Amino acid sequence: MCGILAVLGCGDESQGKRVHVLELSRRLKHRGPDWSGLHQVADNYLCHQRLAIIDPASGDQPLYNEDKSIAVAVNGEVYNHEELRARLSGHRFRTGSDCEVIAHLVSHPTHTSLLLLLDI
């Protein structure tokens, strides 16, 4: 099981805050010992401690859509990810992770109806 930490709107973008968020994320390492990731936008942080099951080589999280405007950290499995990738044929996927489709679904113009197709 993965570990996910989100710190939103903390009002501090300093290096000290980033170090503190990373320390908090490391405390979740027992939940996902295979990889850790951090995504920061202004004073918002998204951390992920990954337990690699599908695509252990390149499924590091957070996962992004093409222009990195959407970042997702997921603890779960998308059983129909191959079907969803086929529906999103115009999208460029960076990994083989089943969960990457979520970032692309959210950024798709018809995302509301497509999200209903998730088999998780």
Contacting residues for 14 by C-beta, under 8 A, at least 6 apart? none
Q: Which of 2, 10, 47, 99 is catalytic?
A: 2
Q: Are 10 and 26 in contact (CB under 8 A)?
A: no
Q: Which residue's structure tokens are 């973008």? A: 13
Q: How far apart are the first and last CA of the chain?
A: 15
Which ranges constitute the DSSP H helices of the chain?
15-26, 81-87, 100-107, 111-115
Point out which residues pair with 7 in neighbouring strands. 45
Position 41, amino acid: V
47 is catalytic: no
Active-site positions read 2
